[in-house]
Amino acid sequence: MNNVWVGGNMSRYFYVPLLILLLVCTACKESSPSKTDLASGIKAYEAHDYVTALRILKPLAEKGDPKAQYYLSLTHLGGAARYPEFSWKKGEKWLKKAEEQKYPRALFDVAVDCFHSGRVDKSKYQKAREYFLELAEMGDPVALDYLGEMYLEGKGVPIDPARAADYFRRADARGVQRAKVNLHQMFDYGLVFPPDYARALKHYRKMAEENVGGEGAYNLGRMYLKGWGVVQNDETAVKWFERALERNFYQAAFSLGSMYYQGMGVKADPEKGLRYLQRAMLGDNGAGYLYFYAIYLHDRFNILPFDQAFKLIKDRAIKQQDPHAEYALGMIFYQGRLVPRDYSKAVFWLTKSAEKGHAAAQYWLSRCYFYGRGVLENDEKKKYWVVKSAFQGNLIALDVFTIKVDYALCWDFPKDMEDAKLFLNEAFLGDPRLQYQAGRMFEMGLLFEQDYAKAAHWYGLAAKRGHALALYRKARLHHYGQGVKTDYKKAFSGYMQATLQGVKDAYIGLGELYRLGLGCEKDAEIALTWYQGTSGERAWVNQMVGEIYAKGQGGSKNYLKAVHWFKKAEFCGYLWAEYRSAEMEDDDSNHSQKTLLERIKYLYKLAEKGDPRAQNNLGVIYAKGVGVKKNPASALKWLKRSARQDNPVGLYNLGVMFYNGDGVPHDYLRGFYSFLASAEKGYAQAQYMTGYCYYNCHGVPLSGSSHGLSYASHVSSEWFDKAVKKEHPGALYFTAMFLTGHFERDKYRYLMKRACKKKYAKALYAWGEYILHGHYKREPETDKKALALIREAALKGVASAQYSLGVNLLIRAETWEQRKKAMAWIKQAAESEDYEAQGFFGEKLAKGEDVEKDLVQAYKWFKLAMAGLAKGDYYEDIGDLVDEISQKMTPEQLKQAEFLTRTWEPPDRKYYLTN
């Protein structure tokens, strides 16, 4: 036993140290994250496999690894929109932990966020600068570029161009492309402060002497060609262009070719010019440049035979399959400038180029699919190619994408945030054109949630670099207080700068400010000058100018000028501008009527020639009886002609006639199908009415559907969604009220606010009631704001708003005059067929409270209210009141009251035709 015990003790003492060592090693292993695991977690995040990334990174992050914490924060931010276990708050928490451990990428992300947030909260610039300095010391060159921008623009530090340039140089030396752009802009173009041509000259000369590519020599040539900071000298420009070409900077070859064709600085030699252009074909996009140079030189100087340019481009496209040459060849066939137009061949070559990633080819191919040029129309392929082009920074495609130039097509673009971030990264590099487009995307709510503040930020960046449209859009945001504080002086300044660069819309902005006296002295005469500066290019502006002359706001009334500007307004969108002259307070009213008839004759001629817009407007004229006798038969004839040509507005108006039964048999079915045909062509008002018909089962064929009412409800929401995407105010309101409801609070508020911004009357009333009943922020002025919204809706004729306003004013009334005004609103609501208002007004008349007692009128309003109210407590109460006052009325009074009830006509609630 002892031996065993001794042996046991010995073995125990022998193994204890080993056990401790094993435990320590295990603990060490567990406490130091596996690099393999971390790499796997990062790889999963980059592959958007957020669930796997979370599983791998979370244990590592919890053990304190800053890199794991940083990537875990990105994982939460990426997965928050898709999975419930992810959240923005958790992402921010882990980013904060990585930041506290001074992990460089976390510091950089926080610094950039503070850099952009500083526009709203200036104190954040301090933190941004602190972190950028830390990162610069760690060797981050991009941080140097941000520091340069802070000193250049005075963000949290005094403006110091010299210090900014120093930071930009240091960043440029380490390969930061944006820093190079900023330096060039400082020293060359002078977009931030007066140009330093001497420094630019020195900079480019140094590049040329150091034999750094050919860019320095090329830019020196440009400076001598333009006379920037040097005496203009074509011969010296040629010398530098040739040196740049020796270093294979092929863009110089186009300048040389053009100069030899024109005889600028050299003896004119078209053959030598052609040889230079042949050399230029060796460069990137050489064929594309040659195509446009060929057009330019021919149109301006009638030189460079087309067949030579065509042969050069065709050979490169066929033999080398160069995407630039394929694009140029496609454009040659598309435009028909060098050869007869052939859309089929254009599509063939554009497709080849587009498939190789050529952005411009992708855009023009999208146009072919949209208009059916050389191919069958295909909206899906149109969307596909234009989005491809837009994400490569093609500016025309971006315009189509962000401004929606093609109004006939409602695009439902996928919100791909990864692509969106890539786009913003490009904009961050400092190209003002991309920055402007980023602003448009935020303003329009495309790819990103609509955010006017961010739109203002991007416009501001582009505007500082002199981008004309960005100056205009930023001024417009200041004008209307979108994303920034309303500031009419800044709006005035921005519009003025934009006008100097020829932005016509900025002329309109200045005209509006002068007309209303915002940010400047009110002066209708100056407003006229700015409006007229648009050269009659904007129909509604022409109408506005006509109004000013008609009303004499810019001096004395001028009938002839008013009619002149009314005639300039396009008949399609602003047909009724012409008719405003008939309402002028002028002695020559017969002449006005004569002008109106002449306009109708003009429309009649166009309609007879088959113009669908004129046919539609002529139909509206006959339907409404504007300037002619009302004639439903003629209206129907012209609207049918317009509809047969697939004019969406004509189809919609035809639907309105059948839906309302205006001069034709009331027919919901035909009305519905007309709305549907128009809606399918993208007309927002028709999309709204199609949804409305489905929702109310007006003309919708349900008998053959196994889905019945549930199907109709589902389809109605689809059509409302389409109209909502086009910002149709009625669809916004209807979706909020009936398809969303208060239980989806955030969505309800979002939709209702958008409808209110468009001054949609019912939305103003609903939002006012929502605020008044405490469903929104409670502030000292809440009731006042709510009543202002309800009043605005009441003035627009919403019966419920009139009743609500009257009751609320009555509750708050302190004098007889105030009670009298309140009762006037309640009476108006009753006359507008609000059943509750009719019952309430009847009670007041029966009792003689706040109005003169009148049992006959009380009986009428009670009966009308009962005809519309659903059976319930209030219905029963009114029934009791009818019985009560009937006993007090004479037979003659009862007879009169019954007569008034039978002959009372409700207000017109028809849907109206649009021109």
Task: Work out whether the CA dihedral 147, 151, 156, 157 comes out positive or negative.
Answer: positive
Q: Is 156 in a helix, a strand, or coil? A: coil
Q: Are 311 and 331 in contact (CB under 8 A)?
A: no
* pLDDT for residue 131: 92
pLDDT tens for 841-872 read 999 999 888 888 999 999 999 888 887 765 55
Task: Give CA–CA dist 698/911, Å, rounded.
Answer: 14
* pLDDT for residue 710: 45
DSSP letters, 378-436, are -HHHHHHHHHHHHHTT-HHHHHHHHH-S-TT--------HHHHHHHHHHHHTT-HHHHH
* pLDDT for residue 18: 46
CA distances from 691 to 647, 694, 699, 733, 747 (A): 20, 5, 12, 13, 19
Task: Give CA–CA dist 732/692, Å, rounded.
Answer: 12
Mean pLDDT of 415-442: 64
The region of weakest confidence among 226-240, 273-287, 437-451 is 273-287
Element (H, E) at 637: helix 632-644
What average pLDDT does the chain have? Answer: 75
The token pair at 720 is 């409302």
* pLDDT for residue 359: 78
pLDDT tens for 271-308 read 787 777 667 655 554 444 555 555 545 544 454 455 66
* pLDDT for residue 35: 62
Residue bearing the bigger pLDDT, 269 or 700 = 269
Q: How many of the other CB atoms lie within 10 Å of CB of 16?
A: 10
Task: Give CA–CA dist 661/417, Å, rounded.
Answer: 48
* pLDDT for residue 40: 87
Task: Give CA–CA dist 333/354, Å, rounded.
Answer: 16
Q: Are 833 and 868 in contact (CB under 8 A)?
A: yes
* pLDDT for residue 778: 56
Q: Are 911 and 672 in contact (CB under 8 A)?
A: no
Task: Give CA–CA dist 839/882, Å, rounded.
Answer: 10
* pLDDT for residue 465: 78
* Closest to 280 measured CA to CA, from 235, 319, 325: 325
- DSSP 8-state symbol, 737: I
pLDDT band (50, 70, 90) for residue 20: very low
* pLDDT for residue 798: 87
* pLDDT for residue 351: 93
Query: Is the pLDDT confidence value at 461 over 80?
Result: yes
Residue bearing the bigger pLDDT, 887 or 86 = 887
Query: Is the pLDDT confidence value at 161 over 80?
Result: no
Query: Is the pLDDT confidence value at 232 over 50?
Result: yes
Query: Which of 207-211, 300-304, 394-398, 418-422 has maximum average pLDDT?
Result: 207-211
CATH 1.25.40.10 residue ranges of the chain are 414-513, 797-903
Residue bearing the bigger pLDDT, 508 or 417 = 508
Task: Give CA–CA dist 272/266, Å, rounded.
Answer: 11
- DSSP 8-state symbol, 557: -
Query: Is the pLDDT confidence value at 401 over 50?
Result: no
Residue bearing the bigger pLDDT, 354 or 440 = 354
Q: Bin 368: left if φ > 0, else alpha if -120 < ψ < 50, else beta.
A: alpha
Residue bearing the bigger pLDDT, 300 or 164 = 164
* pLDDT for residue 870: 55
Query: Which of 59-73, 223-237, 623-637, 707-721 has maximum average pLDDT?
Result: 59-73
* pLDDT for residue 575: 42
* pLDDT for residue 103: 92
User: Amino acid letter at 409?
Assistant: L
* pLDDT for residue 225: 83
Query: Is the pLDDT confidence value at 475 over 90?
Result: yes
811: buried, middle or exposed (CB in 10 Å: 19+, 13-18, 0-12)? exposed
* pLDDT for residue 669: 75
* pLDDT for residue 268: 78
* pLDDT for residue 39: 87
Backbone dihedral angles phi then psi of residue 537, each to the nearest 5 degrees: -85, -15
Mean pLDDT of 26-37: 53
Task: Give CA–CA dist 863/896, Å, rounded.
Answer: 13
Q: Is 563 in a helix, a strand, or coil? A: helix
pLDDT tens for 686-720 read 888 888 888 777 776 544 333 344 455 567 778 88
Mean pLDDT of 568-573: 46
Superfamily in which the 797-903 domain is placed by CATH: Tetratricopeptide repeat domain (1.25.40.10)
Query: Is the pLDDT confidence value at 235 over 70?
Result: yes
Q: Please give the share of the chain, as a percent, with pLDDT higher than 90.
A: 5
Q: According to CATH, what is the number of the domain 414-513?
A: 1.25.40.10
* pLDDT for residue 352: 92
* pLDDT for residue 132: 92
* pLDDT for residue 147: 92
Q: Please give the share of the chain, as a percent, with pLDDT higher than 70.
A: 71
CA distances from 626 to 347, 566, 568, 579, 833 (A): 48, 16, 20, 8, 28
Based on its alpha-carbon atoms, the radius of gyration of the chain, rounded to whole angstroms, reads 36
CA distances from 411 to 379, 400, 401, 677, 726 (A): 9, 11, 9, 18, 10
Query: Is the pLDDT confidence value at 589 over 60?
Result: no
DSSP letters, 187-220, are III-SSSS--HHHHHHHHHHHHHTT-TTHHHHHH
Model pTM above 0.75: no
* pLDDT for residue 193: 44
